[in-house]
A and B are shown apart, each in its own frame.
Chain A
């Protein structure tokens, strides 16, 4: 690389860097805002006085949070959901992507099957039939309902990404293995999967983020709060209610108990796992997503 050291270039650098840093700062803002809200006093938060700095700094929210057993129950359910969901995703995605990465010449049924997958990705019967189906399987209140329903709706995209990665692996590798008499299972498990860690890490990350952040299915397939995953638990805390459908004493309870600072503390804690996971997977998925989507 050659470096130009002229003054104008230095000014350009300075301008550039300040713009980039400013943009980067906007990306930390929501996190910071939630954090300062969680450390503020209840009255300040209710009056909307908190902006970028905690008002009347205190730890009350976090002390209260420690006593909220449902929060930790939900946290645990979300962890289970993420582990099962991402694990299943990790197994099924390469299993399906490998045969489907073949050409029609090598695998005749390939196109029909592929379009069937696309079909399942786009069409659905709506929430009510889905509810009936899950109930018929006896999966109500089970974390498997969340894992399997949510997973089925996101896996096709992950398969497409992985197919593209597989196709871009040098074909000579597979041919050499075939010459040595290797079967498809051997090629997949011993050759393709080890070479595809970047893309598998990427789709795992997608799966983790999806299962962690999704809230609607928790609301639909769980009949009681004790089974809610974390985002569902948080969503029901922060959504406001139409008072005309409430009776006076319900409203009274609501307003006495609404607690933005505690909510903020919960939201902040809920962000942590994803924030912890992504730096670890980062180095893989930069590679994974690029090779998956682009043939250079």
Chain B
């Protein structure tokens, strides 16, 4: 009796829940005028025009709780960016949800899973695929064609079709892709050059040299404090990976990317096999070989013994214990600034090393598209999202980051020409060498920060201009500009000076079976490799891993990748 009654009650409530849900998904405290605003869809497509009547857009917004840059009573919802959007486009931005960087993905998952989507939000490739599969987002094909500003189209086209390929499903453009500098995807070797000099060593060209340097860093007390407290090579912390992979191909900090690629191993990447068919790099013998090298290094104490457990490997860089690590060009934005503040002699330099057996530098390369703006299916003004992004790129240099960080711009995507950093490095060198004047670079609007870079370089760089060692800089003159210039002249130098025989993954997005199985395959891979390196499992457990990987869905996924690639 009772059970039947409860069951009925349950259903009644669920019905109520469903009918409420439809009404509840409208932005409820929106502007009154949003209703009846139908003429916008019939107006002529202009990427920058303001709406005649105010519209609202409820978005998902990442808000960093420790960011205190907002001034004078500004809020994440009312600041220079939202006011600019409001005034220029007559769009009122609202927040369907906000979340800190660490919780943003979780909020997005929750929104997708419960089909309670904001009008627009920024997502990654995995979520994008899920949204398309579940038919939850609007087709943006016409909107991109008609509303994307020429500047955005130019940048997206500079990716040679990759950016649009990532958002095209069944011939339809389902999201607005970003496009960022390709330098994010190359993981250089960073070394304490002052330690090398002190021990009379050269930057390591080969893996053998590399081991010797690491050994010397660990055993010969390079910091001269008489204690056995130095680390040869840093390892990944709990938030980073052993190597960047095809889904997250950029910005892997403290991984072993450089060692793998010097041994011609590309774990985590989809490669063309000997028979021309796709293979997964993690299952190849080269990867096993590389793992055995890393395993030996770890057991000899050349790698940070706390790898994989540390919360932040940057801490030992800051404290001056680490001698080498792999990371992208922008590491000065990370721990290096603090390291130099702590110890002005910490001379971190960056190299495109080690080289492979043929003496070539062969890092893996990333996709330039990692983030996407999606619009909820059924939202009345899908072009508003596009307009907000047009507005960003057109006016980005006008904003003052010191009264509100750029992250507060609604739906912000990064748009940068693929070669932004390389161009900056070359420009700075030419200005320093006197072969060009700063004014020569003023008229390059796509390179947003170039003007301020060339203008301020003399303030922070000391003579001799062609020597980038730390004693020839004046970071204190302008720490912000120093970080930027150091990232260019030191961090990006290997990308400009080396011939890069980079390796791309065949794909940078998921296939169908991956949706269900990839997470577990990835977990299998991560655990096995970490344990092999740290010596808690024998090297030959690699073979078992390959077998399991294939049988637990890897075979099927490989076929799917082949289909995508051969299409």
Q: Which residues of A come within 8 Å of B, CB atoms?
A: 43, 46-49, 70, 109, 112, 116, 127-128, 131-133, 135-138, 219-220, 223-225, 233, 236-237, 239-255, 257-259
Given A225-B63, A241-B101, A251-B333, list of 10 further CB < 8 A pairs? A136-B16, A138-B24, A223-B97, A239-B102, A240-B239, A241-B239, A244-B241, A251-B330, A253-B405, A259-B66
Q: Do A223 and B95 touch (CB < 8 A)? A: yes
> Roughly how many angstroms separate A257 CA and B65 CA in the complex, as a whole number?
10
B443 on interface, CB distance cutoff 8 Å: no
Q: How many angstroms between the C-alpha atoms of A199 and B237 in the bound complex?
A: 46
The 5 residue pairs across chains A and B that have the minimum distance between CB atoms: A136-B17, A223-B97, A236-B100, A47-B319, A244-B248
Q: Which single residue of chain B is at the shortest CB-CB distance from A70?
A: B65
Q: B414 in the interface, Cβ–Cβ < 8 Å?
A: yes
CB neighbours (8 Å) of A246 from chain B are 101, 251
Chain B 420-457: CB-based contact to A (< 8 A → 1; otherwise 0) = 00000000000000000000000000000000000000
Which of B193-223 touch A at CB < 8 Å? Answer: none
A-B contact pairs, 20 of them (CB 8 A): A128-B114, A131-B113, A138-B20, A219-B106, A223-B95, A223-B107, A225-B98, A236-B99, A240-B311, A241-B102, A244-B251, A246-B101, A247-B414, A248-B184, A249-B405, A250-B407, A253-B69, A255-B335, A255-B338, A257-B67
| Contact among A49, A128, A224 for B95, CB-based, below 8 A | A224
Contacts of B237 in A (CB 8 A): 240
Cβ of B174 to closest chain A Cβ, rounded Å:
20
Q: Does B315 touch A at the CB level, under 8 Å?
A: yes
CB under 8 Å from chain A, chain B span 327-373: 330, 333-335, 337-338, 341-342, 370-371
B64, CB-defined interface residue at 8 Å? yes
The answer, yes or no, to whether B564 is at the interface (CB within 8 Å) is no
A109 CA / B3 CA spacing, docked (Å): 12
Residue of A nearest to B366 (CB): A244
Q: Chain B residues with Cβ under 8 A from A236's Cβ?
A: 65, 99-100, 102-103
In the complex, B535 has a CB within 8 A of chain A = no
In the assembly, what is the distance between CA of A128 and CA of B112, in Å? 10
State the CA gap A28–B237 with chains docked (Å).
29
- Nearest neighbor of B479 in chain A, beta-carbon distance: A256
The interface bits of chain B over 53-74 (1 if a CB of A lies within 8 angstroms of the residue's CB, else 0) are 0000000001111111100000
Q: Which residues of A contact B315 (CB under 8 A)?
A: 46-48
Instruction: Decide if B105 is an interface residue (CB 8 Å cutoff).
Output: yes
CB distance from B448 to the nearest CB of A (A): 11
* Number of B residues with CB within 8 Å of any CB on chain A: 66
Docked complex Cα distance between A248 and B449 (Å): 14
B238 within 8 A of A: yes
Report if B240 contacts A (CB, 8 A). Answer: yes
Query: Could you tell me if B21 and A136 are in contact, using CB atoms closer than 8 angstroms?
Result: yes
A223 lies within 8 A of B96 (CB): yes
Task: Please measure, in the bound complex, the distance between the C-alpha atom of A241 and the C-alpha atom of B239, giving whole angstroms.
Answer: 6
**Closest CB in chain B relative to A121 CB, distance in Å:** 16
Check if A240 sits within 8 Å of B238, measured CB to CB: yes
Q: Which residue of A has the minimal Cβ distance to B100?
A: A236
A259: shortest Cβ distance to chain B, in Å?
6
Q: Are B406's CB and A257's CB within 8 A?
A: no
Contact A253 B244 (CB under 8 A): no
Contact across chains for A255 and B333 when beta carbons are under 8 A apart: yes
Q: Are B116 and A48 in contact (CB under 8 A)?
A: no
Q: In the complex, A157→B88 CA distance in Å?
A: 57
**Chain A residue nearest to B241 in the complex (CB):** A244
Question: Shortest CB–CB separation between residue B442 and chain A, in angstroms?
Answer: 23
B12 at the interface (CB under 8 A from A): no
Interfacial chain A residues near B371, Cβ < 8 Å: 247
Cβ contact of B114, chosen from A116, A135, A225, cutoff 8 A: A135
B108 to chain A, nearest CB (A): 11
A246 to B330, CA, bound (A): 13
A40 to chain B, nearest CB (A): 14
The residue of chain A having its C-beta at the shortest distance from the C-beta of B249 within the complex is A244
Q: In this assembly, does B124 line the interface, its C-beta being within 8 Å of a C-beta of chain A?
A: yes
A248 to B334 CA separation, bound complex (whole angstroms): 9
B287 touches A (CB below 8 Å): no
A258/B251 in contact, CB under 8 A: no
Q: Give chain B residues whose Cβ lies under 8 Å from the Cβ of A223.
A: 95-98, 107
